[in-house]
A and B are shown apart, each in its own frame.
Chain A
Amino acid sequence: MRTSPDAQELLSIVAETFRTDLLPHIPPAQRYTALMIANALGIVQRELAGADPAGHAMLAALALLYGEDADDSLSGADLRQRVEALQHRLCIEIAAGDFDHDGQDVLMECLEEIVQARLGIANPKLLRG
């Protein structure tokens, strides 16, 4: 049975209440801490809602190099594990020198897409327009 409100819904109203009802009244000495809390709540919200879309974006980026292993039907822990496995493989290839001379443009494109996907959760203000 689904609990209602669920974790995301609860978190959403917590974050909104904190920002609108509390943040404006925080004394200056504690304001930095309060902003850090608001920032952290935002990250958690985006991660709960956006982990799978970010995983698919990273899988699509890795498909530039490993097309055959990208699978759009994955979700949750399976998706995360597939992304981790492909990133691990890529790390080993990079460290072995496989991109020292060739393939750097495709590699850079892939890495930039991966960072964009992770920025969407950690700090979407920095996403390219």
Chain B
Amino acid sequence: MGALIDGESRPRLESWLAGATGATRVSVADEGTLGGGAISLNLAVTLDIDGGPQAGRHACVLRAQPGAGAAASGMKASISKAQEFAVLRAAFGAGVAAPEPIAACGDPAVLGADFYIMRRAEGVGAGHKVVKADQPQRGLARELGRQLGRLHKAGPDTPGLESLPVPAVSPALDCVHAYRDWLGDLALRDAVLAWGLRWLEIHAPPPGELALCHRDYRTGNYLVKDGGLTAILDWEFAGFSDPMEDLGWFCARSWRFGRHDREAGGLAGREDLYAGYEETSGRRVDPQAVAYWETAAYMRWAAIAVLQGRRHTSGEEPSLELALTGRMLPEIELDLLRHIHSLGLTASSPAAADAEPSGDADEERVA
């Protein structure tokens, strides 16, 4: 895919935006690609809007569906840009610190790919920088809990979310099915993955209440400025699931960036995250369910790493970063086994999550 915005497409984009924002004229300045786009293409743009309700200058991000090759292999877990925009509107409307959605375009004649535009937020996102703090960041962990609780008040009945699929059997078993599908024949060649899948089947909780889940809610996917949360990003995996899934994912070792003594995303203890969550969600945190979903988190991350590696090896998208992500599999499997081990070996009685040891603090992620 060449440059998304060039001399030819810019006038089309500007005239479409004028229509979408009720303006007399819009000009778009392209400020280059933003990081964090392993799956989506993120462009920094500034809109100058003349006339209409949104007149003025707006720092924004244009998020586009990546090329067709990527969509074929790596993108199985993600929703369309139109769905992502609908999720963003629901989240923003519910008072969640999602970037403000501006406009979405499903007309391929404009840029050749589906895209939407949202307001740009400021702050630091890189996980290893976010977790760098002498003292636990208890307030930030609690605020992230509150945000998640607010998001989870949305569900299948929330207006605007009609296009999002609802789990066929149960959130847990639907996940196992999806992971198996993403892993392909590797589920029959890698015994650790085979055991992870089986463990999730044996211990699957019965279907319960469905919530709108972010499904990539973790350190590295939100922005922080002066110690405070500014925005929650990367909504491309959102969907309806067991609300405990997002808590298990947030607390997984994979997203602590070496701060394993601070189990809530390398920020603070779980109790701060859970307390904030219970404040706004109107729901109790079920530590045993969170522990189940933490096992699911390692399996999901393993399957996504395999998909990322495959994007490279298939030749569709040669990339050193994708190739190395594929090579992270043993590291993710180590975390998976460590977690299963901590829950006890008896299939019929998984131990409570608080039995999990806090783990070593001396491990570091490598490039």
| Chain A interface residues (CB < 8 Å from chain B) | 32-33, 35-40, 43, 84, 87-88, 90-92, 94-95, 97, 99-101, 104-105, 107-108, 110-112, 114-115, 118-119, 121-123, 125-126
Is the CB–CB distance between A36 and B320 below 8 Å?
yes
Main secondary structure of the interface of B (DSSP, over half): helix
Q: How big is chain B's contact interface, by range?
A: 20 to 34
Contact with A along B328-345 (1 / 0, CB 8 A): 111101100100110001
* Interfacial chain A residues near B190, Cβ < 8 Å: 87, 91
Asked if residues A119 and B330 are in contact (CB atoms below 8 Å), the reply is: yes
Does B76 sit at the interface, judged by CB under 8 A?
no
What are 9 of the A-B contact pairs (CB < 8 Å)? A35-B367, A37-B320, A88-B189, A94-B198, A95-B194, A100-B202, A118-B329, A119-B330, A122-B329
Q: What would 17 more interface pairs be, CB under 8 Å, given A36-B321, A99-B198, A115-B334?
A: A38-B367, A87-B190, A87-B191, A88-B189, A94-B195, A95-B197, A100-B202, A107-B195, A108-B340, A111-B195, A112-B341, A114-B192, A122-B328, A123-B328, A123-B366, A125-B366, A126-B334
* B31 sits at the interface (CB 8 A): no
Q: A94 contacts B333, CB within 8 Å?
A: no
| Contacting pair B195 A112 (CB below 8 A) | no
The answer to whether B187 and A91 touch across the interface, beta carbons within 8 angstroms, is yes
Across-interface contacts of A35 in B (CB, < 8 A): 366-367
**Shortest CB–CB separation between residue B102 and chain A, in angstroms?**
30
Complexed CA–CA distance, A25 and B328 (Å): 27
Asked if residues B188 and A88 are in contact (CB atoms below 8 Å), the reply is yes
Provided the pairs A100-B347, A101-B347, A122-B331 are in contact, do residues A115 and B192 lie with their beta carbons within 8 angstroms? yes
Out of A40, A91, A108, A112, name the residue touching B320 (CB < 8 Å).
A40
Q: Which residues of A contact B195 (CB under 8 A)?
A: 94, 99, 107, 111
Partner of A91, one of B189, B328, B329, B330: B189
> By the criterion CB–CB under 8 Å, are B194 and A91 in contact?
yes
Contact residues of B with A, CB < 8 Å?
187-192, 194-195, 197-198, 202, 320-321, 323-324, 327-331, 333-334, 337, 340-341, 345-348, 363-364, 366-367
Known interface pairs A33-B320, A36-B321, A108-B340; A90-B191 also in contact (CB < 8 Å): yes
Which residues does chain B contribute within 8 Å of A90, judged by CB atoms?
191, 194
How far is it, in angstroms, between the C-alpha of A38 and the C-alpha of B324 when the chains are bound?
11
Chain B residues with CB under 8 Å of A95's CB are 187-188, 194, 197-198
Residues of A near B340 (CB, < 8 A) are 108
Given A36-B320, A115-B334, A123-B331, residue A100 in contact with residue B198 (CB < 8 A):
yes
Give every chain A residue within 8 A of B366 (Cβ-Cβ): 35, 39, 123, 125
B363–A126 CB distance below 8 A: yes
Q: Say how far A97's CB is from chain B's closest CB, in angstroms.
A: 7
